[in-house]
Each structure stands twice: as C-alpha cells, then as structure tokens.
Amino acid sequence: MQWPEFSTKSWRTCGKRPHSGYYWLAYSWENLLPSCIGCNRPDSSGAQRVGKWNRFPVSGKHASRPAEIADEQPLLLNPLRDDPAQHLEFDPESGRIIGTTERGRMTILVLNLNREGLKEKRRDIYESVRLRSQEAIGAGDRGDFKTVDRHLEFLLQHKSGQAEYAMAGRPAVGRSKETIRYMLQRLG
C-alpha cells in the first residue's frame, strides 16, 4: 500500500494544478470529527510518519471543487458514515486491529491504530468483558439475577458499541450471546 505523504506532497499537488485545499469544507459541521491527540497529531519519531493531521488519502483524485466531492473516494473511514465492522477486525491474541478492506488498512496506517498502549488496552478490555460475561452466565445459572443485572449494563454497552474500545469488548460478549439473550428474557 502506498504511504500517504504529508499534505505538501499529497493533495496539494494532486492533479495538474496545485490543490487549493478543501476551503469550502472548513466550516462544514459534517466535516468535523472529534479525535484524540494520538490519532490526529503528526508524529515522525517512529519508522513511519503517523497521525491524521491534514492528510486525506483517496483512491483516485482529490476533489478540488465542491462539485467534485461526490465522486471523491476517501480512503479514511468516517465513523459517522461507515460501519467500522465492515472494514476492521479485532484480534484478541495480539490486541491488534486488522484491516479487512483497503480503507480499513489505510485508516489503521494513518491513525496508527496499533500503536503502543492501544493493543494492551484492547486485550485488557477483551479479558474483562470475557470474565464478566462468564460471571453473568454463572450467576444466571444459579438464579442470581441481581448479579446478572449488575453485569448486563456493562456487557450491553460493549455489545451495542457505546463503550470505549467496544470493538475489543464486543467479541467477548458475542461468545455468550445466546445466554445473554436468554437472561434478558428471564429478566423481562
């Protein structure tokens, strides 16, 4: 995969004329996304320059006018428009996120999604969700629905994707989906 260079070597020189920048999107709400520093800030300390910063890798050409934006094919996933599960997979063994599509792989590359700290955090989340899932199942078997109830909120937050690192937590709940469904029915 071609590494997306920083702005001066990418979209600014994409096409024949120098790119004027996405000036018409600067104040567009749909174009603004919250981000943590780790994903956004440019960092050249490693082997590869990482961080979103002002990079907009695309497949084909960058749009240089508002009319062209509909045909532009961004390679970074938009969390509001794209379903990450269609492009990314979590590996519980390594804690890594794996791209299953070109866009998934590019997003991992640019945001450095397997950077130090994230893999460990994801593994911890996976393990704690797995343990609490087991506890909930055990409690359900004993008829201790007060304990089940205490775990359910946490588990459902991962299942629904609301919890932080839910991509790592969700598969740990998924393994006991049938039991969770059963317990939910029991709880009414």
Least separation in angstroms between CB 108 and Zn ion: 12
Q: Give the residue with the Cβ less far from Zn ion, 108 or 183.
A: 108
Least separation in angstroms between CB 13 and Zn ion: 28
Least separation in angstroms between CB 75 and Zn ion: 17
List C-alpha distances in Å: 103 to 18, 76, 179: 25, 6, 35
Write the secondary structure of 95-158 as one string of H (helix), E (strand) and C (coil).
CEEEECCHHHHHHHHHHCCCCCCHHHHHHHHHHHHHHHHHHHHHHHHHCCHHHHHHHHHHHHHH
Q: Give the residue with the Cβ less far from Zn ion, 62 or 87.
A: 87
Least separation in angstroms between CB 38 and Zn ion: 5
Number of shown-chain residues binding Zn ion (CB under 5 A):
2
Tokens of 90: 């979590």
- Per-residue x/- marks for Zn ion, 6-45, CB under 5 A? ------------------------------x--x------
Q: Which residues of 17-38 are buried (b: 16+ CB within 10 A; e: fewer)?
A: eebeebeeeeeeeeeeeeeeeb
Q: Give the residue with the Cβ less far from Zn ion, 26 or 36.
A: 36
Q: Give the residue with the Cβ less far from Zn ion, 145 or 165.
A: 165
Tokens of 65: 């006018």
Binding site for Zn ion (CB under 5 A): 36, 39
